[in-house]
Amino acid sequence: MNRADIVIVGAGHGGAAAAAALRQNGFEGSVLMIGREPDLPYERPPLSKEYLARDKDFERLLIRPAHFWQERRIAMALGVEVVSVDAVAKVVRRSDDREIGYGALIWAAGGDPRRLSCAGADFAGVHAVRTRTDVDRLMAELDGGATRAVVIGGGYIGLEAAAVLTKLGCSVVLLEAQERVLARVAGAQLSRFFEVAHRAHGVDLRTGAAMQCIEGADGRVTGVRMADGSVVPADLVIVGIGITACVEPLLNAGAAGANGVDVDEYCRTTLPDVYAIGDCAAHANSFADGAVIRVESVQNANDMATTAAKMICGEPTPYKAIPWFWSNQYDLKLQTVGLSIGHDLAVMRGEPTEKSFSVVYLRQGKVIAIDCVNRTKDYVQGKKLVEAGAVVPPQRLADAAIALRDMYG
Amino acid sequence: MIKLTVKTRDGEAHAIEGRSGHTLMETIRKADIDELVALCGGSCSCATCHVFVEAGPSEVQTPAGEDEDDLLDSSDYRAGNSRLSCQIVLDESLEGLVVQIAPES
């Protein structure tokens, strides 16, 4: 195929959802999905959870079975990357040098794990957790007898990996450079709670931990050298320090963007007929007071995919889906609704010591987000408060005896 | 294999088969029925795999746990026989199960 009506770049959650949504909305033209991984679209969240824990095999992670794509005439070019875009000629060039014309382009390329910039970052045994290949490699080392793990970064990926590795019998040291884990995505109360929980499960969790480099021998990691000169021995290292958006070909083609590629409320970039969705799409988010942000979540990838597909099918519907997110660690089920960035008040609801509580975030008196730990009821009922930007007195929110449902209006 | 019937939103009945130990959500997804979004992949964190159980053992007609019950409350279409299909694990006792996919909330 040298041309497709729609070329989708990226075969992750966003790309898969876009292809499915195009067909659901009646799009009849040709669709080609180009993905750099060899696999059909699969769910990424289990990579740091059930897949690493071997509770689910890979087949169970597939977003749709192979015949689904065939029957809906979604062509797949897997194991190839798009390296450049000519937005005038409407052609993408692939890593295998082939050129493919497009009528419209949906850029759903996601992100690359941020790498350590220090010495030793390339040693064998230093892992990211982003793709199936990353995790397969990690699991092979565990099978080979690796038992001492160092996790660099206390974000969700790092914390989830630490939880699974602990369960698998590894000794785990988690190094977070900032003063608390989850600093980028949650308030201090939630950070403290997860720090306590991980330590209780035996994780040697260190905040404010400044590292110097990765130590190794014969090209293989042996430990992590800290700024004070001490060395934390390691058989394997997991680096979970965020992602950088994969947007270079688009920016080189002239699309506006800096951290990611800029899109409007219909997921359109500044290039004609070029859309961007998911982790790499910087957009003015109505749940972040209009701030231009990237949201790295399945929800965002999926809902943006629908937005782009509807626009292409002539049913413009602006993107304003409510953000939600989840994370599972040990027996703790975190569910988040809204975005807590920019909150000026965080209200604790329930008792962290009882492992069931919520943190309600407010900005200028309005509820903007809720982090719920083992408290699905608050998650479900609180969604309406976030959607409405409800103004509720903090002392009322803190009263766990009153259901959030009774705080509307 | 366990034989099941899944009715899509247009009312059409699809005879499908599932493996013991797999969830109903996975089984529906594998059978090429794309009305189930199942966004969280079965970790009981969303409510996008909502079905109504029309025929099957009585235990399978009510939510298995508090989380599922709470999540179902987020649907405008919750009924007495509502379930999240990711929380139904197939076994022989479910042979002949009939479910209807719930409307999108």
The partner residue sitting opposite B70, judged by closest CB among A20, A326, A380, is A380
Confidence of residue A319 (pLDDT cuts 50, 70, 90): very high
- Alpha-carbon Rg for chain B in angstroms: 12
**Residue A81, pLDDT above cutoff 90:** yes
Question: How does strand A356-363 pair with strand A366-373?
Answer: antiparallel
Mean pLDDT confidence for A187-214: 98
pLDDT in tens, A130-181: 999 999 999 999 999 999 999 999 999 999 999 999 999 999 999 999 999 9
For B:8-47, CB contacts with A below 8 A are 22, 26, 29-30, 32, 34, 37, 39-41, 43-46
Q: What is the pLDDT of residues A347-389, one digit of tens each?
A: 999 999 999 999 999 999 999 999 999 999 999 999 999 999 9
Helix (H, G, I), strand (E, B) or coil at B89: strand
Q: Which 8-state DSSP code applies to residue A62?
A: B
CB A369 within 8 A of CB A386: yes
Q: What are phi and psi of A207, to 5 degrees?
A: -95, 165
Please say whether the beta carbons of A370 and A361 come within 8 A. Answer: yes
Phi first, then psi: what are they for A205, rounded to 5°? -95, 120
Nearest to A243 by CA among A285, A179, A288, A184: A184
A window 337-396, beta carbon within 8 A of B: 376-377, 379-381, 383
Interface test with A, best of B8, B43, B71 (most A CBs within 10 A): B43
- From residue A398, alpha-carbon distances to A283, A356, A392 in Å are 32, 13, 10
pLDDT of residue A1: 61
Given a contact cutoff of 8 angstroms between Cβ atoms, the answer to whether A216 and A348 are in contact is no
Mutate to test the interface with B, among A298, A335, A373, A406 (most CBs of B within 10 A): A335
Model confidence over A320-348: pLDDT tens digits? Answer: 999 999 999 999 999 999 999 999 999 99
pLDDT at A66: 94
Beta partners for residue A74, in sequence order: A31
Question: Residue B35: its pLDDT value, please?
Answer: 87
Predicted confidence (pLDDT) per residue in A394-406, tens digit: 999 999 999 999 9
Rg (CA), chain A: 22
The number of beta carbons lying within 10 Å of the beta carbon of residue A58 is 14
Q: How far is CA A232 from the centre of its chain?
A: 28
Quote the pTM value: 0.96
pLDDT of residue A384: 93
Of A351, A328, A373, the closest CA to residue A53 belongs to A328
In chain A, which residues have their Cβ closer than 8 Å to the Cβ of B14? none
Tell which of B34, B87, B90 to mutate to test the A interface (max A CBs under 10 Å): B34
Q: What is the mean pLDDT of residues A44-66?
A: 95
Phi, psi of B59 (to 5 degrees): -60, -30
Out of B39, B66, B74, whose CB is closest to A302? B39
What's the mean per-residue pLDDT of chain A?
Answer: 97
Alpha-carbon distance A176 to nearest alpha carbon in chain B (angstroms): 27
This complex has an ipTM of 0.90
CB A359 within 8 A of CB A408: no
Residue pair A108/A8 in contact by the 8 Å Cβ criterion: yes
